[in-house]
Amino acid sequence: MATNITNTNSIDPRDVGTPDDWIPRHPEMVRLTGKHPFNAESPLSLLMDQGFITPNPLHYVRNHGPVPKLHWDTHRLIVDGLVSKPLNLSMNDIEKFPYKEFPVTLVCAGNRRKELNMIKQSKGFNWGSVAVSCAIWKGVPLNYILKLAGINLDDCINDPRYICFIGADKLPNDYYGTSIPLEWCLNDINDVILAYEMNGERLPPDHGYPLRVIIPGCIGGRMVKWLSRITISNEESDSYYHYHDNRVLPSEYDVDRANKEKIWYNPNYIINYLNINSVITSPAHNEYILLSNYFNNNNNNNNQMYTLKGYAYTGSGNKITRVEISLDDGKTWILAKLNQPELDHPVVLKRGINPIPRYWCWSFWSLTISFYSFIRCEEISVRAWDATQNTQPRNPTWNVMGMMNNSHFRVKINTIVQGSEFRLIFEHPTQPGNLSGGWMVKSEISSPKLLTFSKNSELSTNNSEKIPTFNINDVAKHNNEKDCWIIIDQKVYDCTKFLKNHPGGISAILINAGKDVTNEFNDIHSTKARDLLKNFYIGNLVVSHKAKM
């Protein structure tokens, strides 16, 4: 049953004071990187309630920095590089061109990263299992624009060509940009478009207003938002983010070794297409079965059945061909029922079904089983298969960027006995961001760790002088670009000199200047960042209440 999700006009209190304080955002979105930049996913059950199409306010968001404030009337798209007819197009120009409109499931390459972070912290923040959403996108086919610029497929035959996309967002390491092989865009069946509408509305600012790239079957990271420039080149994009993001490095690489060996530039490790993935959404995390309720209704068979549900997707336009459930840790697998609403969707039917089918959307699966199956079962696993006859691995493969986790999604079944009540409680592996819960989560990672201090503390300075102490009001005064202190885990740091070097941008620190940023820091920073932090340590916070261990 779909919850009625409408656009909101109000500014979330958490955005006040950030560069994004002009963008209305849905209050239920789970924020994953503190206040800013905005990276968020919908609660899983809320997303599933919506069905095939995700309402715009609940679509997951991945922003690298502040959202650029662009205007329909003044925005331009430049097309240049190895083209015979460079273009400079207004949004009104673009809107007059032929268009395609169809549903596409977008997925961030970091979907399900928190499961990897529970093994070992990666460089990335804690996506749960909802870095995935599905919207109807409308836009001009990119190959139409390319032909307008004088490009044709023959140009690709003699030497490699890349199409480099540049967004209007200003980031610490210059602009956000990336590239894909030109040929992928020229082939009409791949449905690459420059989108200006999402679910029948102009794009929301968080989704690239007024123009973004949509490359079905690819990871979200290649679908540049706030698109301002397309350059055709013999070389891949020179953007920092093209090389240092959206890569899967072998497990043995940490960032230092990756930098030393320049492995970021090894073409084997780029991610373009989505891999196969599947998730259990019913039972939800913390959902439970009260055994007496089932046993009390012996005459009603419906009451004794439970319907497992979930989603599955794969990349490159491949079809999900089966989904299977195991109740015995992979020893045996039961075929689930597949529901693929894509080809029956009114928009697709109106458009006409491609005679060479490409599957750009998620599938749903369900399996109705007797609730007896749960009573002696320790966990429920899901795996999907696609038309390439590949399937998912059982175990996750940790990688330093925390990308592309597609190991079997496993829901544990725990029991609670209270008096005569016997409950089976379902537990997902993690909960997104700094939310606690999940069988992979060893401790309440979101609670501030109250430490005791001694001269031998690993964070103590080299000399054995008395460590300075500050109270919260002392720290609060140092709240600007020229004098910026922060509190993390009861320690005070003077970050003023570090501001311009912060990989996440100056503003990400400044909006919290003078404050306790323990949660924000712990959510997204690597061990390396922790080491770096030590250089700016200036003393300890004095707290008025007794610290609890």
> What does the binding site for its own copies look like in residue numbers (CB under 8 A)?
156-161, 181, 183, 189, 248, 250-252, 268-269, 271-276, 315-316, 319, 321-322, 324, 330, 332-335, 338, 355-356, 387-395, 397, 404, 406
Report, in Å, the least distance between residue 129 CB and its own copies. Answer: 17
Do the beta carbons of residue 245 and residue 401 sit within 8 Å?
yes
**Which pair of structure tokens corresponds to residue 154?**
């023959």
Do the beta carbons of residue 194 and residue 258 sit within 8 Å?
no
Catalytic residue among 111, 246, 512, 522: 246
**Which pair of structure tokens corresponds to residue 345?**
């969707």
**Residue with smaller CB distance to its own copies, 26 or 161:** 161
**Residue with smaller CB distance to its own copies, 159 or 531:** 159
**Residue with smaller CB distance to its own copies, 394 or 528:** 394
**Residue with smaller CB distance to its own copies, 201 or 256:** 256
CA distance 216 to 103: 9
Cα separations in angstroms, 134 against 24, 53, 137, 141: 20, 5, 9, 19
The candidate with the shortest Cα–Cα distance to 73, out of 214, 207, 229, 202, is 202
- CB count within 10 Å of CB 350 equals 9
Burial (CB count <10 Å: 0-12, 13-18, 19+), residue 524: buried
Catalytic residue among 245, 489, 516, 523: 245
**Which pair of structure tokens corresponds to residue 375?**
């009573």
**Residue with smaller CB distance to its own copies, 351 or 477:** 351
Sign (positive/negative) of CA torsion 535, 33, 434, 516? Answer: positive
Do the beta carbons of residue 131 and residue 85 sit within 8 Å?
no
Report, in Å, the least distance between residue 166 CB and its own copies. Answer: 23
Residue with tokens 């794969």: 314
CA distance 203 to 193: 14
Report, in Å, the least distance between residue 106 CB and its own copies. Answer: 17
Report, in Å, the least distance between residue 390 CB and its own copies. Answer: 4
Beta carbons within 8 Å of 546's beta carbon, 6+ residues apart: none
Count the alpha carbons within 13 Å of 43 in the hemisphere toward its beta carbon. 11
Residue with tokens 């700094």: 434
- Catalytic, 245? Answer yes
Do the beta carbons of residue 369 and residue 305 sit within 8 Å?
yes
- Catalytic, 108? Answer yes
CA distance from start to end of the chain? 45
Catalytic residue among 20, 39, 108, 272: 108
Report, in Å, the least distance between residue 375 CB and its own copies. Answer: 22
Alpha helix positions (H), 58-135:
91-96, 113-119
Q: Where are the beta strands (DSSP E) in 99-182?
A: 100-107, 132-141, 162-171, 174-181
Report, in Å, the least distance between residue 350 CB and its own copies. Answer: 16
**Residue with smaller CB distance to its own copies, 167 or 220:** 220
Report, in Å, the least distance between residue 268 CB and its own copies. Answer: 4
**Residue with smaller CB distance to its own copies, 378 or 483:** 378
Report, in Å, the least distance between residue 78 CB and its own copies. Answer: 25
CA distance 64 to 288: 38
**Which pair of structure tokens corresponds to residue 353?**
């079904």
Report, in Å, the least distance between residue 218 CB and its own copies. Answer: 11
Q: Where are the beta strands (DSSP E) in 53-161?
A: 61-62, 76-81, 87-90, 100-107, 132-141
Do the beta carbons of residue 192 and residue 216 sit within 8 Å?
yes
Active site residues: 108, 245-246
